[in-house]
Amino acid sequence: PNAVTFICALGACGIRRDVEKGKQLHAEVVSRGFLVKNIALGNALLDMYAKCGTFGEARMVMEELPVQDKVSWNALVAGHAHMGQGHEALNCFERMQKEGFAPDAISFICALKACANMGSIDKGTQIHDEIISTGLLGKDIMLGNALVDMYTKCGVLTKALQVLEELPIRNTISWNVLIAGYAERDQGLEALSCYKQMQSEGLSPDEVTLLFVLKACASAGDIIKGKQIHDEIASRGLFEKDIVLGNVLVDMYAKCGALVEAQMVFNELPNRSIVSWNAVISSYSQRGRSREALNCFSQMQSEGLSPDIVTFIFILKACGDMGAMDKGKKIHEE
């Protein structure tokens, strides 16, 4: 193997998080004296350890590199951010700058991810200002999306929308980030407004868009829009490809009080998981239709699925509403 072979093999170890194989390759690289000659190989080794979460070894490799560059630092910042170690990622980001390396789009994307994970809006705003000064926003759509994501995850949705609208280039992913942010905070009307604006720009929704728009419909009680999304999902044959979409569709109809439609969609699902069953069981239980909830529970068990905590909560509620003490006791003993 030559240096290129080792770079590819180390990349595979990073993807699989196979640190033991990575260490074997590291030893072979050292024995052949490749590290002294090839900075790309050193960076591949550093990246492998960072992706495996073994940052002690990653830092040792960093210190032993004859030459460090921006790629070396990006590997460390990205590794910490990916592992949810926001403080460490930002420390590396700052050290990189102190060492005289100007951040590029990858550096900023990873630093913004760290801010998003930590909910650190002050640091995120500071990095936003740095990005503006570099002029990178007009050149990298992923950087713009990372910025919208950071503000969204920090809960500053008004600012996230403002940033999105000011982006010189945006795509479906840009809007998905914001629609998801509103939908997950039960701000259904705002999510649907973003969806409408996204469509007015000629952008087509993907599965992620449709999923969160359905959640927004459930939150806003907008069954008309929900039915439109249902028609689009059916026309694109997405039921067969994405069980999550089917589950969310059942939940949307249930939360809008359309239990007949919820049951019909449920019956048509090609694959049903515990989440599917929970959606329909909870909808019956919450609306006082306890007998239907218990029937679904029995059918679910007959299909070999084991109830989880959510299932038990709604089934016990159904038993209580019916006064079905014996059935409740039996479930309690399970």
Query: What's the distance, CA 77 to chain centroid?
Result: 19
Q: Which two tokens mark 136?
A: 């990178």
Amino acid of residue 172: T
Which pLDDT band, with edges at 50, 70 and 90, does 212 fall under?
very high
Q: Report CA-CA distances (Å) from 272 to 226, 261, 291.
A: 21, 16, 21
Model confidence over 279-291: pLDDT tens digits? 889 888 888 888 9
Residue 334 pLDDT > 80, yes or no?
no
Q: Specify the pLDDT at position 330.
A: 81
Helical axes 3-16 vs 39-51, angle rounded to 10°: 10
Model confidence over 69-119: pLDDT tens digits? 999 999 999 999 999 999 999 999 999 999 999 999 999 999 999 999 999
Which pLDDT band, with edges at 50, 70 and 90, does 137 fall under?
confident
With beta carbons less than 8 A apart as the criterion, state whether 160 and 151 touch.
yes
What are the φ/ψ torsions at residue 99 (nearest 5 degrees)? -80, 0
How many whole angstroms separate alpha carbon 39 and alpha carbon 76?
15
Residue 48 pLDDT > 90, yes or no?
yes
How many whole angstroms separate alpha carbon 307 and alpha carbon 301?
8
